[in-house]
Amino acid sequence: MDHRKGQTVKKTSTVVVALLALALASAAATAVPKPIVFVGKYSGTATTQAADNVVTITANGTGLGAKIGAGKISGAGKGDSSQQPCVPFTGTGKITGAKGTLTFKVNPGSTGCGDEAGQLFSVSGKATVLKGTGLLIKRKGTLKMSGTFDRSSGAFTVKFTGSLAAS
């Protein structure tokens, strides 16, 4: 009985398995986590305090964010009320959820555009994520912000949308 043919098949199989294992290990080593689409919607109360043309803004609210779940938002910043009807503002903030946090800064170019009475504002702009924790650890990116602010009641809404890549 000739066993050489069987030995050849066995050797070939071993090589194929080894190559597959190597390919898988290599793929695992180079695999980049997929970007996470983040959508968060928050509402709460903001206060504004004007001195000359500098408006100091403080905001706190609650809401829901993708991956991190229900939680809070807080932020602080400054606006330039010499520019009307769209007041540019910048600042920093933090979104906290049960499963993670995002720390961000509001990018220049973000504005709150007021109505004729300067009471009801449409808020829009972009925020750069500086740091993520929990399920969003090492995630960074730019989020679009849109929302409203009613100066008379202090009520605000803000929606964040964007993609967070692994850094």
Partner 1 sequence: MKKFVTLGVALVAFAALASAAIAADPIAAPFPAATSGPVFIAAQTVTATGALQNQFAPGSSVIFRAYAVDSKTHKLLVAKDVKYFYVTIPNQPNVKLTYKPTAPGATGRMVWVGTWTVPAGYPVGLVNFKVLVKAESKRTGQFVQMPVATSQLTISATPQTTPGNGPAAQAAAVSDATVSLYVDTVNGTQPVGAPKRTVGCSQTNVYKRGEQVVIRVWGFDLSTGTILSTDNVDTATYSIPGQATAPVTYGAHGAVGNKVFFWSAPWIVPPTFPLGDVTILIAFKTDAGKTGTFAYPITVIP
- The nearest distance, CB 76 to partner 1, in angstroms, is 21
Q: Which is nearer to partner 1, 9 or 115 (CB)?
A: 115
Q: Which is nearer to partner 1, 71 or 91 (CB)?
A: 71
Which residues ranging from 107 to 166 are in contact with partner 1 (CB under 8 A)?
111, 113-117, 120-124, 144, 146-148, 150, 153, 155-157, 159, 161
Q: Which is nearer to partner 1, 8 or 83 (CB)?
A: 83
Q: In angstroms, how far apart are the furthest CA atoms of the chain?
A: 101
How many amino acids of this chain bind partner 1 (CB under 8 A)? Answer: 32
Residues that bind partner 1 (CB under 8 A): 41-43, 62-64, 69-70, 85-86, 111, 113-117, 120-124, 144, 146-148, 150, 153, 155-157, 159, 161
